């Protein structure tokens, strides 16, 4: 566990590895800034900004250098002095040089984590007698990724990927049952949010938390979720339910959103647009949709001195923001920004199930 409480007295640092090798001193000297945008809901992205002009020789440098060839693997580490941690591992997907008269030419190198491979091309394909976790593993291996899944248990007779990218198809299957798709290097996971995990760090307002803007809202909360479907062969309705008490971890809080809204009278969200073939499938969708709603009871944005431990799909603790809003939060996006001029800063968004 790390809180980088001494960040103000240590020198911020960044290390870039391309194809497993550190940047040369010359390349590093031309590096202006590094940004890493992590997101649970989309492939994470990084940008490297470099001066791309050799003044004595009067010629372009990194714009034409094969160091930044498309597809090259990039690992970005951030931290302080020699204590660095990886904040993203990805591949170069784009180059954006900037030529402006009167200004030194620059190059922006853009890349994404390996989930971007799932966005390449759309296809139509059917899957029979398979679980969602098996379908995910099948597609991940085809993209040269290592799947790590939580067994989704319910087997489907027939699932169709209808002219969709692998990402859109798998994201839809994940959201249907309250799962998420997260990647660490080449290990891609398919599992429910790990908001009941151990905290990785603690942020305290005015100490190592500069800004914190939480929002508690009951407007998207209900007591229970029902999933209704029709079984043509059996000529009967199928009903799946999940309600108050099934939220999972309260993350250090006392009352969850579904519990609080009991004050306003009975409330049920009914899902009828999801095709279901069995009672087990209906129950699974209901629970996934219910948990996904419950964890959005409190949403928050924050900023702190740069901290590479602050990553998506991790649990952090927030302190000294009052009893109601202090506690554990599940990180859903981060932005790590580093430059030689302004140092290292991290911002994030997070969610919580209870207050």
Distance CA 78, CA 74 (A): 13
Q: How many domains does the chain have?
A: 3
The CATH number of the domain holding residue 54 is 2.30.300.10
Angle formed at CA 76 by CA 72 and CA 78, multiple of 5 degrees: 170
Angle formed at CA 290 by CA 161 and CA 285, multiple of 5 degrees: 35
Residue 206 lies in a domain: no
Residue 164 lies in a domain: yes
Q: Residue 43: which domain range?
A: 12-117+299-352
Distance CA 23, CA 109 (A): 14
pLDDT-derived band at 3 (thresholds 50, 70, 90) equals very low
Q: For the residues 238-264, what does the mean pLDDT come to?
A: 91
User: Is residue 101 located within the same domain as residue 130?
Assistant: no
159-174 pLDDT, tens digit per residue, is 999 999 999 999 999 9
CB atoms within 10 A of CB 87: 26
The yes-or-no verdict on residue 298 having pLDDT over 90 is yes
Q: Give me the residues paired with residue 190 across strands.
A: 149, 181
The CATH number of the domain holding residue 125 is 3.55.50.30
| Residue 204: CA count within 13 A, CB half-sphere | 5
User: Is residue 139 located within the same domain as residue 180?
Assistant: yes
Residue 236 lies in a domain: yes
User: DSSP string covering 242-288, please?
Assistant: EETT-S---TT-S-BHHHHGGGG---EEEE-SS---SHHHHHHHHHH
313, 39 Cβ separation under 8 angstroms: no
User: Is residue 23 located within the same domain as residue 91?
Assistant: yes
User: Is residue 17 located within the same domain as residue 76?
Assistant: yes
The yes-or-no verdict on residue 231 having pLDDT over 90 is no
- What predicted TM-score, i.e. pTM, was given to this entire model? 0.92
Distance CA 242, CA 322 (A): 31
pLDDT-derived band at 10 (thresholds 50, 70, 90) equals confident
């Amino acid at each position: 566990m790390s809180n980088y409480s001494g960040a103000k007295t240590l020198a911020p640092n960044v290390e870039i590895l391309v194809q497993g090798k550190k940047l040369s001193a010359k390349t590093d000297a031309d590096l202006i800034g590094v940004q890493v945008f992590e997101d649970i809901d989309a492939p994470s992205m990084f940008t490297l900004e470099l001066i791309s002009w050799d003044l004595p020789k009067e010629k372009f440098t990194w714009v034409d250098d094969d160091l930044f060839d498309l597809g090259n693997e990039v690992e970005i580490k951030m931290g302080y002095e020699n204590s660095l941690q990886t904040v993203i591992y990805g591949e170069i997907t784009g180059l954006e040089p900037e030529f402006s008269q009167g200004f030194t030419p620059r190059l922006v190198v853009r890349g994404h984590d390996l989930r971007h491979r799932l966005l390449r091309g759309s296809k139509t394909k059917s899957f029979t007698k398979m679980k969602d976790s098996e379908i995910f593993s099948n597609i991940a291996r085809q993209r040269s990724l290592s799947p790590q899944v939580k067994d989704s248990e319910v087997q489907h007779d027939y699932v169709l990927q209808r002219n969709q990218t692998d990402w859109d198809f798998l994201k839809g299957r994940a959201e249907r049952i309250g799962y998420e798709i997260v990647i660490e290097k080449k290990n891609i996971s398919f599992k429910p949010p790990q908001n009941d995990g151990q905290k990785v760090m603690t942020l305290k307002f005015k100490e190592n938390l500069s800004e914190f803007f939480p929002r508690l809202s009951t407007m998207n909360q209900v007591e229970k979720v029902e999933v209704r479907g029709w079984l043509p062969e059996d000529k009967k309705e199928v009903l799946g339910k999940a309600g108050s008490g099934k939220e999972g971890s309260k993350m250090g809080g006392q009352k969850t959103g579904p519990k609080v809204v009991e004050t306003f009278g009975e409330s049920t969200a009914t899902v009828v647009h999801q095709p279901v073939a069995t009672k087990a499938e209906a129950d699974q969708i209901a629970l996934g949709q219910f948990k996904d709603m419950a964890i959005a009871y409190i949403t928050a944005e924050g900023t702190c001195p740069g901290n590479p431990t602050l990553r998506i799909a991790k649990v952090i603790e927030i302190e000294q923001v009052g009893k109601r809003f202090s506690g554990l939060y599940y990180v859903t996006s981060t932005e790590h920004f580093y430059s030689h001029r302004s140092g290292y800063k991290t911002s994030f968004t997070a969610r919580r199930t209870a207050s």
